[in-house]
Amino acid sequence: MEKAGIKFDKEKLKWRLVVWDFFEAIVRVLMWGARTYAPENWKRVEDRRARYKDALLRHAIAYAKGEILDRETQESHLACIGCNAMFLHWMDENGDLGK
């Protein structure tokens, strides 16, 4: 009998845990933004940190009030929240103060 193989991956990211449909919805929101404004326009918006926090909260409140889909994008408010959270995370990770 063959000895079992070894693979040192216990601490590596386990991408199989991700709900891919959620990421696809976030990408659709990003594509809507790229068509409406320009690709990566969000990185050039003035006072972006405060404005994307506001956008995240608007989507969260709409969702909390029972609204599932965003009227503008026709995507879920949760996908819009994910998109805004990604923008804020990028700013945090890149030392972008969002002025």
Confidence class for position 58, pLDDT limits 50, 70, 90:
very high
In a domain, 54, yes or no: yes
In a domain, 97, yes or no: yes
pLDDT single digits (tens) 10-54: 999 999 999 999 999 999 999 999 999 999 999 999 999 999 999
**Is 0.75 topped by the overall pTM?**
yes
Average pLDDT, the chain: 95
* Structural domain boundaries enclosing 70: 50-99
Buried b (16+ CB within 10 A) or exposed e, 33-72: beeeeeeeebeeeeebbeebeebbeebeebbeeeeeebee
In a domain, 74, yes or no: yes
In a domain, 12, yes or no: no
In a domain, 35, yes or no: no
In a domain, 8, yes or no: no
Domain count along the chain: 1
Q: How far apart are CA 22 and CA 82, in angstroms?
A: 9
In a domain, 61, yes or no: yes
Sign of CA dihedral 83, 88, 89, 93: positive
In a domain, 39, yes or no: no
For the record, the structure tokens of 98 come out as: 């969002």
User: Among 30, 37, 52, 38, which Cα is nearest to 96's?
Assistant: 52
